[in-house]
Amino acid sequence: MDTTKKIFNKSSLLVPLVSIVLGLIIGAIAMLAGGYNPILAYTSLFERLFGSPYHMGEAIRAITPLIFTGIAVAFAFRTGLFNIGVEGQFVMGMTGATLIGVLLDLPWYIHGPLAIVTGALFGGLWAGIVGFLKATRGVNEVISSIMLNWTALYLANYIVAAFLLEPGQQKSRPIHASALMHIDWLIELMDRARMHWGTLIALLGVAVFYLLLWRTKQGYELRAVGHNPDAALYAGMNVNRTIVKSMMISGVFAGLGGVFEVLGVFGNQTIMAASPGYGFDGIAVALLGGNTPVGVLLASILFGGLSYGSSGMSFGAGVPSEIVRIVIGSVIFFVAAHGIVKYMLKPFMQKRSADKRKEAA
């Protein structure tokens, strides 16, 4: 299928792969600078990740929110928008789900879905604000998103503190079991790692991402506006409405990430000192994944694995787990500045084509 070829071809793999290698190298340099042993560190990371069913399960648990936030950012990028507000939309998703999960008590076949939908809507609407401001007032979506991120954090804390508080604690009352999303038999299987339905929904999300953007008329419109809003306008498309729609869909994905953190992992919501950070990691995932469905999936596995395994690095080699931030940061720096990578690869590429010509001669 030509569309598949377009969104995932050989040359588009080279830059991400090289960037990953470079990022790992820079991580190693930073470790050496701090007096640590990079080889020991990276092997400890592997051991942590694949060492036991529990760890593997928890790694999956860590990867799941990244799939959601990665799709959210990638989707927005494809439609011409930079959704940095995924962080805030994630938090609002959490809050929506927690509200339904704590305050209401309904049969499981209603309660769970209702909580999911509410959280998703919260995320979508929160993102819609950004889209609306951009479409109607031309407000730069990067700045407005960041402002809303901070606002979401404090708003969420306020809601938990004012309406949902477990007395004497810094967290909400527990979410009713009828809304929780644990997969009990899988939890047993993975040695009590926190497995939940969100992972399955996330994988479905990847498929939806592809189908929506490349197979539907709505997706055609979204991509047209993303590539060339002027031509889209001339072709009769409602650009402003499309911008808002796109942000809302993106926000729904982000919100779902938050939903499953509370419904599937924690079972409650704490008063947070800082936002969880999945949003920014989602940006990294989207960038590395080239804003493609499969790319996002693979990148989220990589970054999720790195993040989870980083505690192994501090355990096994004493390296502060923040080293992973440097590795991830460097990887996406090279992806974002792919010109640098291509420049470094030029001698190799030229040699290969020179060899090919010699062969042909």
184 lines the binding site for other proteins (CB under 8 A): no
127 lines the binding site for other proteins (CB under 8 A): no
12 lines the binding site for other proteins (CB under 8 A): no
Q: CB nearer to other proteins: give 114 or 333.
A: 333
- The residue within the footprint of other proteins, chosen from 227, 241, 351, 352 (CB under 8 A), is 227
222 CB burial (10 A radius; 0-12, 13-18, 19+): buried
Site string for other proteins, 21-40 (x = CB under 8 A): ---------x---xxx----
Instruction: Give the pair of three-digit tokens for residue 75.
Output: 């989707």
142 lines the binding site for other proteins (CB under 8 A): yes
Rounded distance, CA 132 to CA 243, Å?
A: 8
**Which residue spans within 68-144 are E strands per DSSP?**
none
194 lines the binding site for other proteins (CB under 8 A): no
| Cβ atoms < 10 Å from Cβ of 216 | 11
Using the rule CB under 8 A, give the single segment among 38-46, 48-56, 93-101, 142-150 that binds other proteins: 142-150
Cβ–Cβ under 8 Å, residues 213 and 72: no
The upper half-sphere exposure of residue 294, i.e. CA atoms within 13 Å in the direction of its Cβ, equals: 8
Q: What are phi and psi of 171, to 5 degrees?
A: -145, 175
Rounded distance, CA 79 to CA 95, Å?
A: 27
The residue to which tokens 């729609």 are assigned:
245
Residues 268-327 that bind other proteins (CB under 8 A): 273-274, 280, 283-284, 287, 320, 322-323, 325-326
Chain residues that interact with other proteins, rule: CB under 8 A: 2, 6, 30, 34-36, 82, 84, 133, 137-140, 142-144, 146-148, 150-151, 154-155, 157-158, 161-162, 215-221, 223-224, 227-228, 230-238, 273-274, 280, 283-284, 287, 320, 322-323, 325-326, 328-330, 332-333, 336-340, 343
